Amino acid sequence: MKIDDDKRSGRKHRAILQAATATFVNKGYDGTSMEDIATKAGVSKQTVYKHFADKKQLFAEIVLATTSHVDQVVDLVAKSLNDTQNLNEDLAALARRFVTELMDVELLQIRRLVLANADRMPELGRKWYANGFERVLAGLATHFQKLAERDLLHFEDPLLAANHFVGMLLWIPVNEAMFTGNIPPRSKASLDHLANAAVRAFLAAYGGPSRPSAKARR
Amino acid sequence: MKIDDDKRSGRKHRAILQAATATFVNKGYDGTSMEDIATKAGVSKQTVYKHFADKKQLFAEIVLATTSHVDQVVDLVAKSLNDTQNLNEDLAALARRFVTELMDVELLQIRRLVLANADRMPELGRKWYANGFERVLAGLATHFQKLAERDLLHFEDPLLAANHFVGMLLWIPVNEAMFTGNIPPRSKASLDHLANAAVRAFLAAYGGPSRPSAKARR
């Protein structure tokens, strides 16, 4: 019976998280009550409180879950770079996958909620930045560094190179989505085009055969 | 007397705008009343309403004024590129000036307010994006195109090149400021470092002597 209880409790936990995500996205943080979330999840308000101390903690769990998901995806795909035989192709595949993940409608909506509430929940904004942004960049930098050791990439600072890769890839679509609500969302073809262009520019800047470091500094 | 009246009215208009900016930034859009703004500006509430129909219109005027300011700065500095004799130096000067302007504390705070309210004021978000983002990128692209005609830059799509320039320059500092509140603000030296690195990577990708377009496509 204990195992059944755990299973049921896990299912409820996930149902509450899903219901809360949908409600926060639709009504904003202020417009959402624990009551709304319980109704949407089909559980009692007490059950919600049994799983989450308060609205703020529930919101934080949703936000931080998205950052760890993105992190996993990047790590998984970036690992494929380690023994690449065709950097151009594999980096382009990574870029296309990365931009598709990042442009997920729900993820963008949660990102906007974090930004909108960063004033009153500065801890959460900082955690999202550290666990999302900085960790993804650090992960990419580690993989780029391995490519540099194979003489496939050339830079002085792997983190700066990772920053340039992500900045070229995401500056336009993410900001467009933040300010205009991503309506209608960009097509897969349009995102692929941005990804391929970013990889071309990145490899023109940091790829190619070995060359004197003076060139990179010019 | 008419001229004196106009002058006085212009001064009041500016005082209201300044007071409103400070109040919106401190208290958020919802937390700000026309009463608060009148008090801060040292005028009557009627005077505020004589100049601005309502809070929403006042907020919109502040937001759109910041985009046109940024646009002017970029245009002014980018013009200096047109007859450059040292692209590396002049582009780095542009990048440093651009990132400094964009990282202005008040501008970042207004940007965050726009993002936070983009749900309920989608028109304003779209206008900020069109008049800020897209216009700045289009302006840069025009100047980059002139450099391409002088064989100093090489690309297929000037707008994409401008997007890559700005993305490499701003991805990190702007997102950091949005999520963490820009506290403490980055030093001038740190921003200069980001600007110089972005220009190095940009020129490695798009600058240098003429070369077969196949290279850029690789």
- CATH number for the domain including B28? 1.10.10.60
Cα angle at B88 between B207 and B203, to 5 degrees?
25
What is the rounded average pLDDT of the residues A148-155? 95
Contacts of B33 (CB under 8 A, 6+ apart): B55
Q: Does residue A150 share a domain with residue A44? A: no
Q: How many domains, chain A?
A: 2
Which of A97, A116, A120, A102 shows the shortest CA–CA distance to A196?
A97
Give the residue-averaged pLDDT of A15-42. 92
Contact B217, A197 (CB under 8 A): no
Do B32 and B95 reside in the same domain of the chain?
A: no
Residues A189-196: contacts with CB under 8 Å, at least 24 apart: A191/A96, A191/A99, A191/A100, A191/A103, A192/A96, A194/A99, A194/A169, A195/A92, A195/A95, A195/A96, A195/A98, A195/A99, A195/A169, A196/A92, A196/A95, A196/A96
Q: Which of B146, B142, B148 is nearest to B71 (CA)?
A: B142
Same domain, B23 and B69: no
Which pLDDT score is estimated for B217?
41
Mean pLDDT of B194-217: 78
Q: What confidence tens digit (pLDDT) does each residue in A156-182 have?
A: 999 999 999 999 999 999 999 999 876
- From A138-142, B53-57, B78-82, the region with the lowest mean pLDDT: B78-82
Q: Are residues A143 and A207 in the same domain?
A: yes
Out of A172, A200, A216, name the one closest to residue B163 (CB): A172
Query: What local confidence, expressed as pLDDT, does residue B30 receive?
Result: 85
Pick the range with the lowest mean pLDDT from A19-23, A54-58, B65-69, B113-117: B65-69
Tell me what the pLDDT averaged over chain A comes to.
88
Rounded distance, CA B63 to CA B118, Å?
A: 12
What is the residue range of A95's domain?
60-217
Confidence of residue A217 (pLDDT cuts 50, 70, 90): very low
Per residue in B34-78, pLDDT (tens digit) is: 999 999 999 999 999 999 999 999 999 998 888 877 777 777 777
Same domain, B166 and B125: yes
In the predicted structure, residue A216 carries a pLDDT above the cut 50: no
Residue contact A88–B114, C-beta within 8 A: no
Residue of B nearest to A118 (CA): B179
B44: left (phi over 0), alpha (psi -120 to 50) or beta: beta
pLDDT in tens, B187-204: 999 999 999 999 999 999
Q: Interface pTM (ipTM) of the complex? A: 0.87
Residues B69 and B157 in one domain: yes
pLDDT at B215: 43
A67 and A130 together in one domain: yes
Region A67-79: mean pLDDT is 77
> In this structure, are residues B98 and B80 in contact, taking their beta carbons and an 8 Å threshold?
no
Give the nearest partner residue to B179 out of A126, A170, A217, using CB atoms. A126
Handedness of CA B198, B163, B180, B26 (dihedral sign): positive
* Chain B residue with minimum CA distance to A211: B204
Six token digits for residue B197: 């690195």
Type of residue at A46: Q
| Chain-chain contact of B203 with A181 (C-beta, under 8 angstroms) | no
Q: Same domain, yes or no, for B46 and B60?
A: no
With a cut of 80, say whether residue B218 has pLDDT above it.
Answer: no
Quick check: B80 pLDDT over 60? yes
Q: How far is A192 from chain B (nearest CA, A)?
A: 14
In Å, what is the CA distance from B87 to each residue of A52, A178, B94, B194? 57, 33, 10, 18
**Best-predicted range by mean pLDDT (A96-110, A173-187, A188-202, B132-146):** A188-202
| Contact between A204 and B206 using a beta-carbon 8 Å cutoff | yes
**Is residue B94 located within the same domain as residue B58?**
yes
CATH of the domain at A96: 1.10.357.10
B183: left (phi over 0), alpha (psi -120 to 50) or beta: beta
Residue A214 is predicted with a pLDDT of: 41
Which of the two residues, A195 and A106, has the higher pLDDT score?
Answer: A195
Comparing CB atoms, the residue among A128, A167, A200 nearest residue B216 is A200
Residue B214 DSSP SS3: helix
- CA neighbor of A166 nearest in space, from B98, B171, B205: B171
B121 in the same domain as B211: yes
Mean pLDDT across the stretch A50-66?
92
Of B11, B35, B52, which one is at a domain's C-terminal end?
A: B52
In this prediction, residue B83 carries a pLDDT of 87
Residues B161, B64 share a domain = yes
Per-residue pLDDT, B213: 46
Question: Percent of chain A scored above 70 by pLDDT?
Answer: 94
Looking at the fold, whether B31 and B87 belong to one and the same domain comes out as no
Distance of CA B120 to the CA centre of its chain: 22
With contact defined as beta carbons under 8 Å apart, do A49 and A70 qualify?
no
- Name the one residue in this structure whose structure tokens are 């450099």: B147
**Contact yes or no for A202/A92 (Cβ under 8 A):** no
